[in-house]
Amino acid sequence: MNRITRTLHTLTMASTLAAGACAPTGAAPAPADGPAPGASAPAAWEWHTFTGPVGTRRYRLYVPAGYDASRPAPLVVMLHGCTQDPDDFARGTRFNEHAQRAGALVAYPEQLAEHNPQKCWTWFDRAHQAADAGEPALIAGITREVMASHAVDPSRVYIGGVSAGGAMAVNTAAAYPQLFAAVGVHSGIPWRAAGDVATALGVMRNGPARDAALTDSARALLRASGRESIPMIVFHGAADVVVVPENGRRLASQWAVAAGARDFLRGDSTEGGLGYTRDRYGPLAELWMVEGLGHAWSGGSAEGTYTDARGPDASREMMRFFLEHTRP
């Protein structure tokens, strides 16, 4: 492990353990609720391997019980965080359960230690922030492979992730704005807030610099792609000491302001023993700031790592937000 990677790992793990956010990994349960009554096929949870011009990655694919190849389904691509893997991430988020209810497929690309010693997606490297190169190209390739091998509605393809995976989800959606209808980010970073490790560490600890560059870059991308917006839902723990909450606030506003959002509504509530504030920028963006939550998936399962059973169910709300949007 080199000095840079060791620094990132030490910061992430020490802060998370101090916040009590890391839960032990348990035995893998069934992939979802099980076959629905009268379903024509059981749920599937299988490994696949994608190989493209920029490399090879494995991915887990969840196909819901009752999947019907004659009826195109939504597809969600979910990116795990550092030290995690697709099985751990699926267990902790219970995302497959929500996919079962929605009749959606879910692909979980895998980042191995051979690519990053802590299995982090390389969101902070400029080589992984654009199309046709690096990890965004691999993830887009996996997405297209699933679309080619299964009946997928091309207007209902979504991407989400947590922490480094959340930041890479934004990178990938920005690199391929004609592929994804909406984005979901938990504990993430604004798009292109960092281009190297030193800046990444500063952003994680202190939040991004307060300037207009973040919004300007998002606005320019939308203009160049011909899209009016990239709808985004953001969850963040108000007690996160690994990726400070200002990152979530700036990420949501970055894309809402870039898209010209004019309607703003704030509401406060409590769920799962934790209070939260929900900011809505019309239909374009939502920010859920959860009080007392550290660097952990809100409303998650203790059978996965970096989860907290308290708070609103981030997986439920991400799936709800996704299905409210179709790609133009």
In a domain, 211, yes or no: yes
In a domain, 29, yes or no: no
Bridging pattern class, strands 152-162 and 73-79:
parallel
In a domain, 32, yes or no: no
Of the chain, the percentage scoring pLDDT greater than 90 comes to: 86
Q: Write the CA distances from 6 to 1, 10, 205, integer angstroms.
A: 6, 6, 16
Q: Write the CA distances from 84 to 24, 87, 102, 306, integer angstroms.
A: 11, 8, 25, 9
Q: Which amino acid is at 296?
A: A
For residue range 177-226, list pLDDT tens digits in order: 999 999 999 999 999 999 999 999 999 999 998 889 999 999 999 999 99
In a domain, 261, yes or no: yes
In a domain, 28, yes or no: no
Q: Which residue has the higher pLDDT, 39 or 316?
A: 316
pLDDT number for residue 209: 86
Backbone φ and ψ of 56, nearest 5°:
-130, 140
Of the chain, the percentage scoring pLDDT greater than 70 comes to: 88
Grade residue 328 by pLDDT with cuts at 50, 70 and 90. confident
| 82-98 mean pLDDT | 98
Q: Which amino acid is at 271?
A: E
Distance of CA 228 to the CA centre of its chain: 21
In a domain, 55, yes or no: yes
- pTM of structure: 0.89
Backbone φ and ψ of 173, nearest 5°:
-65, -40
Question: Of 36-40, 251-255, 301-305, where does mean pLDDT reach its minimum?
Answer: 36-40
Domain membership of residue 70 as a residue range: 3-20+40-323
* H helix or E strand, kind and range, residue 77: strand 73-79
Q: Which residue has the higher pLDDT, 8 or 87?
A: 87
In a domain, 292, yes or no: yes
List the beta bridge partners of residue 45: 62
Number of domains forming the structure of the chain: 1
| 251-280 mean pLDDT | 97
In a domain, 216, yes or no: yes
